[in-house]
Amino acid sequence: MIYLDHAATTPVPREVADAMYAVLTEQYGNPSSQYPLGADMKKQVEGWRKTVAGALGCQPEQLFFTSCGTEGDNWAVTAACWQNRHLGRHIVTTAVEHSAVLEACKWMGQQGYEVTYLAPDGNGNITAEQVLAAVRPDTALVSVMFVNNETGNVYPIADIARGLAAKNPKTLLHTDAVQGFLKVPFTARTLGADFITISGHKIGGPKGVGGLYIGPRVRNPRPLLAGGGQEKGLRSGTEATAQIAGFARAVELRMDGLDDKLTHMAHMKAYAKEKLAAIPDLRFIGDGTAPHILAVSLVGWPSQNIVNDLGSQGICISAGSACHQGKPSHVVAALKLPKKAAGGVIRLSFGPETTEADIDACAEALKKHHDTRMPML
């Protein structure tokens, strides 16, 4: 199998699985229990929190474990609106956010909030000036993702944070950094966001665990879940200790030689662009600078057909154009591409394990698809 869909999920290294297995079979204590097995697990959870927080560049007490990026996004949106409920009922976001943010904002719209959705330019870019121009005195929240999951565009979160501090310092800033964490260098301090969402399974960790950074400007954040008081009373429920252990171990593994891993992924992307450029009717999509995501369109050839064809050959890529009833994804739609280009968008995404041979095989398969299948769009 050739796996070129690391933006969807990532392989779990043996070391991560082993760390989880040990917790499941030997260190299975409930961190809330008072006897030594539970107390030891509580200590370990806090150690794992410190590991993940260290990679994020924040204090351990500022990091709260969640079940996934979607949960973190929803929590951030609702908590920001709750804190600023007396400031106003206006939200600024973009038309190319992950659905977890868009659906949370849509829900807030049903609660009486006005949501401004900013459109990218034809290359997928969103500027800080564009965001700040949409901010009003009653803007409770700005939510802009750090790295777009379909195009790889990196958005200027630090510039937005500085601009908000000058224009409307009470407005809170959230960024979905799921695709940026340990792929595009940043720290919580350098980004300047009040909420930062991350996820474990995008960096070699297990599915079912993520994290939300909550910064110092968020006063008495609204709890996500009421119950036994875990996560400082903000997200009750017995901690998913095996997933948290796996998340922390994945962070350790990714941090080991991180610069070399990022350089390798950037090289794989550059190599892929070189190989794919030779395919007739192929067009590069977006202006993404993230090292692990490359969006292209085989103009005129339906993306789902391409994904199915390559999948049958053991090559895993994704349809940047999610052909639901023939409609492109909301990200592709926001780019306002010509119909044939929009319908042919696919995404390749790379990891530290990706090789040039993987890309050679993918390029060959795409070229064969172009040469042997009739365009249908």
Q: Which residues does the annotation mark as catalytic?
A: 323
Q: Quick one: which H or E segment has residue 266?
A: helix 258-276
Reduced to 3 states (helix: H, G, I; strand: E, B; else coil), residue 103 is: helix
Residue with tokens 């937005």: 160
- The strand pair at 315-316 and 2-3 is best described as parallel
- The tokens for 151 are 């195009």
CA distances to 49, 304, 320, 353, 362 from 358, in Å = 35, 20, 19, 10, 6
DSSP state of 61: G
Buried-exposed string 287-301: b where 16+ CB fall within 10 A, e elsewhere: bbebbbbbbbbbbbb
DSSP track, 280-344: TTEEEES----TTEEEEEETTS-HHHHHHHHHHTTEE-B-SS--BTTBPPHHHHHHT--HHHHHT
